[in-house]
């Protein structure tokens, strides 16, 4: 039994485009001898599911297009297809839609499986749209009995959730008491550091436990904040990963399942990447897809001479081509000559164009405009924010005039403590490194320099003390703890969910803990107006539940 894994780059809601993509992959798999093909979860409408799925006419459109595809597959004698799709709930109670796997064969659409354990992670909010199913589906085909599981339906085991089962139900265990020749898992799992490894462990463990090969097909490509990494997997009945599709790229993988029913080999497949390589590839894919799926080809960003904008420029040049990235230098009287020189050297290394637009004149003009009202006040952050906002306006003018998407260069450490100016450096269509702590920004910059074999990002940019340069001799460390300490504290609080007492137990200074937690909560109003951020962690801002803005609780 040759099974084809169709790892496609899909677009939320664009059914016709997705069908073209899937059809092309199916044809390719057929050429390679696939007898049965499988897509990722909700491949028809693309992950993540969106509000569009609450529209009856859209669901009907999905139904018609799925039926057409079934007809086309039959007419062209392509292999039968197990496809992830939203399908109307046949029962007149509960939500009107289900997250399904449908089998397209003999010109017909048969619903095989309905997702049981619905996701609720802030990006994938199955609960808004879908009525859950009650157990895994079964696909009988060519003498094989496949268990079919969608997404999280395979994720439930005591071993993997901090000692606590995520759900009461365990659909795989329930099904496997009846046995299966293999398990097929259609997934739409977005990239997060460590997340792919965890999913792999769960699948490997299940394959070995039930002595059943597992085929797991994942989506690939950027979709707003989510970056689907692909990396579809095939395990033998001993839980060994025997084949893996490309990471961060489309792929069609055709695998002979027969030999995987036994422990054919201990040889692990799959590419090992360092953390930095994974993040680099994810962000490049995320930028490329966000820009192109928005219908843009060119980008613009501000180059400050700092590490954040330097790294974003390097990612953008890789994603879009150096000729499509424009850097704007906007020196003020507080900008050092070093910052200007470093930015120009960076742009020269990358081969990208720059324009310099000094902002002193605008600072002066606004100063005069506000003078009558500000006469009896002292300079404060108002004037610093003003500079940042003049730069924001300038970048947006170049974005609007030349149809270039503005890339935002803020990092996660800044966003956490509100060390940014709303409508200033927070401007942009996409937060490219907004889910990277400052220390990760440094590590990724060093990594890309090493990979390129020279200082693509000039050494001076990496070595200088971080500064917003909004007043003379300003350093980030005037306002913030040193980044290694700040990042460690934020990781413990946001990632490990350590609260005040636990942070203090871990050795962080009490005054520092209180200050950082206060800053963190007080910056919620800024974060809620930030551009969407490419997610590379399990605890990105804007991911999962929300925090209140208007609360006296700090």
Q: Which of residues 482-511 bind a second copy (CB under 8 A)?
A: 497, 499-502
Out of 28, 63, 65, 165, the residue judged to bind a second copy by CB under 8 A: 165
* Interface with a second copy in residues 93-152 (CB under 8 A): 93-96, 118, 120, 122, 125, 127-129
* Interface with a second copy in residues 299-318 (CB under 8 A): none
Query: Of the candidates 530, 531, 534, 500, which has an alpha carbon nearest to the alpha carbon of residue 517?
Result: 500
Out of 390, 434, 489, 516, the residue judged to bind a second copy by CB under 8 A: 390
159 contributes a contact to a second copy by CB under 8 A = no
289 contributes a contact to a second copy by CB under 8 A = yes
* Six token digits for residue 475: 């350093």
* Six token digits for residue 371: 């003078």
Which residues, in sequence order, are CB contacts of 526 under 8 Å at separation 6+? 415, 418, 420, 422, 426
547 contributes a contact to a second copy by CB under 8 A = yes
Q: Which residue bears the tokens 């990006």?
A: 123
Stretch that binds a second copy, among 236-244, 255-263, 368-376, 483-491 (CB under 8 A): 368-376
| C-alpha span between 446 and 449 (Å, rounded) | 5
Out of 31, 32, 33, 55, the residue judged to bind a second copy by CB under 8 A: 55
Stretch that binds a second copy, among 30-38, 87-95, 99-107, 448-456 (CB under 8 A): 87-95
Out of 13, 27, 336, 439, the residue judged to bind a second copy by CB under 8 A: 13
| C-alpha span between 220 and 8 (Å, rounded) | 6
| C-alpha span between 201 and 161 (Å, rounded) | 12
400 contributes a contact to a second copy by CB under 8 A = yes
Minimum CB distance to a second copy smaller for 15 or for 82: 15
Bridge partners, 114 (sequence order): 100
- Cα torsion 296, 297, 301, 307: sign: positive
Minimum CB distance to a second copy smaller for 35 or for 384: 384
Task: Work out the widest C-alpha separation in the chain, in whole angstroms.
Answer: 86
375 contributes a contact to a second copy by CB under 8 A = no
Out of 361, 451, 452, 506, the residue judged to bind a second copy by CB under 8 A: 361
- The SS3 of residue 361 is helix
344 contributes a contact to a second copy by CB under 8 A = no
- The SS3 of residue 301 is strand
Minimum CB distance to a second copy smaller for 200 or for 543: 543
Shortest spacing between CB 256 and a second copy, in angstroms: 36
Minimum CB distance to a second copy smaller for 274 or for 382: 382
Shortest spacing between CB 262 and a second copy, in angstroms: 34
Out of 210, 248, 280, 290, the residue judged to bind a second copy by CB under 8 A: 290
Shortest spacing between CB 99 and a second copy, in angstroms: 14
DSSP 193-252: TTHHHHHHHHHHHHHHHHT--EEEEE-EEEETTEEEEB--EEE-TTS-EEEEPPBSS-EE
Q: Which residues of 387-425 are buried (b: 16+ CB within 10 A; e: fewer)?
A: bbbbbbebbeebbeeeebbbbbbbbbbbbbbbbbbbebb
Out of 27, 54, 336, 538, the residue judged to bind a second copy by CB under 8 A: 54
Minimum CB distance to a second copy smaller for 56 or for 140: 56
Out of 141, 144, 160, 167, the residue judged to bind a second copy by CB under 8 A: 167
């Amino acid at each position: 039994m040759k099974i084809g894994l169709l790892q496609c780059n899909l677009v939320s809601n664009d059914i016709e485009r997705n069908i073209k993509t899937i059809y092309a992959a199916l044809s390719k798999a057929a050429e390679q001898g696939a007898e049965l093909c499988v897509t990722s979860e909700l491949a028809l409408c693309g992950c993540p599911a969106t509000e569009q799925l609450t529209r009856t006419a859209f669901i009907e459109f999905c139904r018609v297009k799925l039926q057409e595809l079934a007809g086309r597959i039959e007419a062209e004698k392509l292999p039968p297809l197990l496809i992830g799709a939203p399908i109307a709930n046949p029962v007149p109670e509960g939500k009107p839609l289900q997250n399904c796997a449908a089998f397209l064969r003999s010109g017909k659409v048969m619903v095989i499986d309905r997702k049981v354990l619905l996701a609720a992670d802030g990006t994938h909010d199955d609960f808004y749209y879908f009525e859950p199913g009650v157990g895994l589906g079964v696909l009988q085909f060519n003498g094989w009995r496949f268990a079919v599981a969608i997404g999280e339906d395979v994720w439930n085991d005591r071993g993997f959730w901090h000692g606590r089962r995520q759900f009461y139900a365990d659909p795989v265990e329930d099904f496997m008491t009846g046995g299966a020749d293999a398990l097929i898992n259609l997934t739409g799992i977005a990239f997060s550091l460590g997340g792919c490894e965890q999913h792999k462990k769960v699948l490997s463990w299940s394959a070995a436990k039930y002595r059943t090969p597992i085929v797991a097909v994942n989506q690939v490509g950027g979709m707003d904040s989510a970056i689907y990494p692909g990396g579809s997997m095939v395990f033998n009945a001993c839980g060994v990963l025997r084949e893996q599709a490309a990471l961060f790229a489309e792929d069609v993988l055709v695998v002979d399942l027969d030999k995987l029913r036994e422990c054919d080999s201990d040889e692990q497949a799959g590419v090992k990447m360092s953390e930095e390589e994974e993040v680099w590839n994810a962000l490049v894919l995320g930028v490329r897809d966000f820009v192109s799926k928005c219908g843009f080809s060119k980008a613009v960003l501000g180059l400050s001479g700092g590490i954040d904008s330097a790294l974003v420029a390097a990612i953008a040049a890789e994603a879009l081509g150096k000729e499509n990235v424009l850097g704007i230098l906007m020196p003020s009287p507080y900008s050092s000559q070093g910052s200007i020189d470093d930015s120009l050297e960076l742009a020269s290394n990358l081969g990208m164009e720059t324009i310099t637009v000094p902002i002193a004149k605008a600072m002066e003009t606004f100063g005069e405009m506000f003078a009558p009202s500000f006469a009896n006040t002292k300079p404060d952050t108002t004037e610093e924010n003003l500079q940042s906002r003049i730069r924001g306006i300038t970048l947006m003018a170049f974005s609007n005039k030349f149809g270039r998407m503005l890339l935002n260069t803020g990092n996660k450490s800044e966003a956490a403590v509100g060390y940014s100016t709303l409508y200033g450096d927070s401007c942009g269509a996409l937060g490219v490194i907004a889910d990277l702590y400052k220390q990760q920004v440094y590590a990724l910059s060093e990594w890309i320099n090493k990979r390129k074999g020279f200082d693509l990002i000039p050494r001076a940019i990496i070595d200088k003390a971080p500064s917003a340069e909004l007043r003379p001799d300003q350093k980030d460390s005037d306002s913030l703890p040193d980044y290694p300490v700040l990042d460690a504290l934020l990781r413990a609080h946001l990632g490990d969910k350590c609260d005040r007492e636990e942070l203090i137990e871990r050795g962080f200074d009490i005054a520092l803990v209180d200050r950082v937690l206060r800053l963190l909560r007080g910056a919620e109003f800024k974060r809620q107006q930030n551009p969407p951020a490419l997610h590379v962690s399990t605890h990105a801002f804007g991911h999962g539940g929300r925090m209140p803005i208007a609360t006296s609780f700090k």
